[in-house]
Structure 1
Amino acid sequence: MRNVDELMDQALDAEERELLSSIGDEPGFVERAMGLFGAGTGWMVAFMMAGQTLLFLTGVWAAWGFFEADHPVTQLRWGLPAAVLLLASLAVKLAVAAPIHTNQIMRELKRIELQIALGARR
C-alpha cells in the first residue's frame, strides 16, 4: 500500500502535494475508532462498546468456571454460555468495524475529489 502512495506522491505537482499534506496522514486504527464517538451516532457506539465489554467480561468469567469445573455436565453449563457470550462480544466488535471502514473509504473519495477538482481547474 505504501508503494502506491509513494507513486501517487511522485506524480503530483507541488501545489497538489501541499493541499494533500494539509489533509494529513492516514489516521491509525485507534484514532479511527475514537472518531466514531464524535459522530452523530456516538451514543450508540458508546452503548455498543459498553455492551461488548460486559459480554466479554461475562464470557471470560464463564470460561473460568468452565476450566474450574470437574464434571462434564457442569462443564457444559459453564462452557456453552462462555462460548455464546464470547461470540456475541465478537459480533458486536465486528459491527463497529464497518463504520470505520466506511469512514476510510470516504476519506479516500474526498482525496480523489480534491485531485479531480485540481485537475479541472487547470
Structure 2
Amino acid sequence: MRDPDLLIDEALDAEERELLRSMGEESGFLTQSLAVLQGPTGWVKVVIMIAQAVMFLAGVWTAWHFFNAVEPVQQLRWGLPSAVLLIVSIIMKMALIPSLEANRLMRELKRIELQLARSSGSS
C-alpha cells in the first residue's frame, strides 16, 4: 500500500508543494513542549509545571531519606510520601500531553485548510 503522504504530494502542484515546504517540517519535541506554555492558558500550564517540579524534587528528597533509613518505620515514613509525590508528579506532567496533541492537530488542520483554500481558489 502506498504512503498517503506520497499520494498527497503527487496530487499537489509545484507551487502548493513549495508553500507547504516553506511552512516547515514538524517541530521537535522541545519546541512543541515550550509552545504549550504560550497562549491564553499558558500561565496555568506554567503553574502546573512549577508545581510538578516542586513535587518531583520533594519526591527525590524523600526517596533519598528512604534509602538511608535503617528502621522499617522510618522507611515507611519516607517511602510512602516519596511514592505519592513521584506518582502525582508524573500525573501532573501527563496532564499537559493533551495540550501538546491538540497543538499538533491544530497545525495539521491549518495545513488542510490552506490546501482547501488553494484548491478552491484555483478552480
Normalising by structure 1, we get a TM-score of 0.89
1:1-122 to structure 2, matched below 5 A, reads 4-121=4-121, 122=123
Identity in percent? 51
Deviation, 1:7, is 4.3
Deviation, 1:101, is 0.5
- In the TM superposition, structure 1's runs of 4+ consecutive aligned residues that sit over 4 Å from their partners are none
Give the aligned CA root-mean-square deviation in angstroms.
1.5
Deviation, 1:18, is 1.7
Give structure 2 stretches of 5+ with no counterpart.
Answer: none
Higher mean alpha-carbon deviation, 34-43 vs 79-88, is at 34-43
Q: Secondary structure of the residue that 2:66 maps to in structure 1?
A: helix
Deviation, 1:6, is 4.3
- Aligned mates of 2:5, 2:72 — CA distance in 1: 56
- Aligned mates of 2:48, 2:63 — CA distance in 1: 22
After superposition, the C-alpha distances for 1:93-116 in whole angstroms (9 at most, x for unaligned) are 011111010000011111111112
* Aligned residue identity for 1:113: E
Give structure 1 stretches of 5+ with no counterpart.
Answer: none
Normalising by structure 2, we get a TM-score of 0.89
